[in-house]
């Protein structure tokens, strides 16, 4: 079929044509937006799960929902070459520039001046000019160099400005497990203060399965945040992720073809998009048959092996790859650290640095003490295929 009209879009964080199976967290986010707009507080959202389950897609959906209401919005990715201070500052600029005007209220003028000082806290050579005279405005002071102090001042003043505008402030952080300790502590403390004092702000964090533990270790009260475990799609919902986008292009799937792709993808949204795309491209008419699905599954697997999996495998050193191969013998369910060490003929303690490096690279995580597991579903199968 015509690849130009192919409705499937594999890729990190890319919005699928049909965002299915996420109705509850989306509804919860809408309720939180409504609460903030009437002056009530809402707990921070924490989306966590394996790679490829659609956490970034859902986080971006949260951002779009807030943007449609004209909120002040910043979405950033932790560990992407910038500190949280710099990433948030730059992400907020566009929203603030859109709001800036000579007739702005007192709180908005104050927030703009505070944002200018926050910019100065990480960029001594740059400055922001919002096109308004801030000389007589109060505000500023977000340039002490202490992250929690400066970020608290910025978010407090922005939330007050948002409330003056009849909206709210949304701070969204992807890959939040990659925040350093001081950044985690600052975000938890500020989010807690915001909820206590009913600031007009919503936080949403997304990350790997280790994120709840990382947050709880930063601040114990983070255990009371709103946690949403994002998992693979199952049954009819996984099928709908394939059939609904096709139907909008007047294309149908054979039931057997759907069943094959759902099984091969294990219901992971990223894989469903990849296999769906390749099955579509293999089909000749307005129906995707079982044979088309077989071709699509084979082509999709090859694409994942050369991209999605390979990119992660190549980040590991040879010694780390040996460790991953030993893990792969147990599949994706997780491995005992002691058993891996026994397979490799060394003490468990000697692999401490390798485990720590693999966790830091986001390739594995520790679901419980003494156990290690892949963050990427299907990684064990990929490693086996390489062998």
- Quote the strand ranges of 45-190, DSSP E: 45-48, 72-77, 169-174
pLDDT at position 13: 83
DSSP-derived letter for residue 330 is: T
Q: How far apart are CA 226 and CA 243, in angstroms?
A: 32
β 252-253/226-229 pair status: unpaired
pLDDT of residue 387: 66
pTM to 2 decimals? 0.93
Class of residue 109 by CB neighbours under 10 A (exposed 0-12, middle 13-18, buried 19+) = buried
Residue 386 has a pLDDT of 83
Angle (CA) 203 61 192, round 5°: 10
pLDDT, position 98 = 92
Q: Are 342 and 327 in contact (CB under 8 A)?
A: no
Mean pLDDT, consecutive 10-residue segments, the chain of 387 residues?
92 89 97 95 94 95 97 94 94 94 92 95 87 89 96 97 96 96 96 94 96 92 91 96 96 97 96 97 94 97 95 95 96 92 92 93 91 95 89
Domains of the chain and CATH, by start: 23-229 (3.40.50.300), 233-312 (1.10.8), 317-386 (1.10.10.10)
Dist CA 110 CA 160 (whole Å): 9
Task: Give CA–CA dist 26/58, Å, rounded.
Answer: 8
The pLDDT score that the predictor gives to residue 149 is 97
The most distant pair of C-alpha atoms in the chain lies apart, rounded to whole Å, by 72
């Amino acid at each position: 079929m015509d690849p130009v009209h192919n409705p499937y879009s594999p890729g990190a964080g890319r919005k699928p044509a049909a965002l299915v199976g996420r109705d509850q967290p989306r509804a919860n986010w809408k309720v939180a937006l409504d609460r903030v707009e009437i002056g009530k507080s809402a707990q921070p959202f924490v989306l966590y799960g394996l790679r490829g389950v659609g956490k970034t897609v859902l986080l971006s959906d949260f951002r779009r929902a807030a943007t449609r209401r004209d909120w002040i919005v910043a979405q950033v990715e932790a560990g992407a070459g910038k500190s949280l201070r710099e990433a948030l500052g730059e992400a907020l600029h566009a929203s603030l520039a859109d709001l800036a005007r000579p007739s702005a209220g007192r709180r908005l003028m104050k927030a703009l001046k505070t944002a200018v000082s926050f910019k100065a806290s990480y960029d001594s050579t740059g400055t922001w000019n919002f096109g308004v005279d801030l000389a007589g405005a109060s505000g500023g002071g977000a340039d002490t160099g202490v992250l929690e102090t400066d970020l608290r001042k910025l978010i407090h003043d922005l939330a007050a400005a948002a409330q003056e505008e009849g909206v709210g402030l949304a701070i969204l952080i992807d890959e939040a497990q990659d925040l350093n300790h001081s950044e985690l502590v600052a975000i938890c403390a500020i989010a807690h203060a915001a909820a206590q004092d009913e600031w007009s702000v919503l936080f949403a964090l997304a990350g790997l399965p280790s994120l709840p533990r990382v947050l709880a270790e930063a601040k114990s009260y983070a255990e009371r945040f709103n946690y949403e475990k994002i998992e693979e799609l199952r049954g009819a919902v996984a099928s709908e992720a394939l059939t609904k986008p096709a139907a909008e292009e007047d294309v149908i799937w054979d039931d057997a073809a759907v069943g094959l792709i759902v099984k091969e993808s294990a219901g992971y949204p990223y894989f469903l998009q990849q296999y769906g795309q390749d099955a579509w491209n293999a089909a000749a008419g307005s129906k995707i048959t079982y044979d088309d699905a077989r071709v699509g599954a084979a082509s999709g697997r090859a694409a994942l092996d050369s991209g999605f999996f390979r990119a992660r495998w190549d980040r590991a050193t040879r010694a780390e790859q040996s460790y991953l191969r030993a893990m792969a013998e147990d599949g994706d369910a997780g491995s005992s650290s002691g058993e891996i060490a026994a397979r490799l003929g060394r003490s468990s303690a000697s692999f401490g640095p390798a485990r720590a490096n693999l966790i830091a690279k986001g390739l594995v995580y520790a679901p419980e003490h003494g156990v290690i597991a892949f963050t990427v579903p299907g990684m064990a199968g990929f490693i086996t295929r390489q062998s």
